């Protein structure tokens, strides 16, 4: 699964916890990975991956902290190309994705990743 590959890679590349779902105990900052779609042609898969950079406002996190975490994630994502199973990494978009319900500042980066 591409999600486990990205979680493992980012966990070893940045100094922030990376998850597939919101943790029960919310850290000061963390990253969530979600596959939002995929397609396959000639045994090569392209997946759309949303990566949310989240800071806990209850512990003093700011929107600037979320922006900086997003930039850290984006800088690390280029290194995915070093993995044998990844052939292309393309940033589609990134934007403020603050969650009004949980009161957490978030930035979301959406990637197209071609993999085997």
Predicted confidence (pLDDT) per residue in 9-31, tens digit:
999 999 999 999 999 999 999 99
| Pairwise CA distance, residues 55 & 61, whole Å | 5
| Pairwise CA distance, residues 43 & 8, whole Å | 23
Q: Give the bridge partners for 18, in sequence order.
A: 31
The total domain count for the chain is 1
Tell me the pLDDT tens digit for each residue of 57-110. Answer: 888 899 999 999 999 999 999 999 999 999 999 999 999 999 888 888 999 999
CATH of the domain at 74: 3.30.2000.30
Structural domain span for residue 36: 2-115
């Amino acid at each position: 699964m591409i999600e486990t590959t990205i979680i493992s890679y980012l966990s070893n590349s940045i100094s922030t916890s990376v998850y597939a779902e919101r943790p029960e105990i919310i850290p000061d900052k963390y990253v969530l990975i979600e596959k939002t779609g995929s397609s396959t042609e000639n045994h090569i898969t392209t997946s759309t991956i949303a990566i949310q950079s989240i800071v806990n406002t209850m512990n003093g996190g700011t929107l600037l902290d979320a922006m900086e975490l997003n930039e850290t994630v984006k800088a690390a994502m280029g290194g995915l190309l070093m993995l044998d199973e990844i052939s292309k990494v393309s940033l589609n978009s990134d934007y403020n994705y603050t969650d009004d319900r949980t009161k957490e500042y978030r930035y979301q980066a959406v990637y197209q990743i071609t993999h085997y």
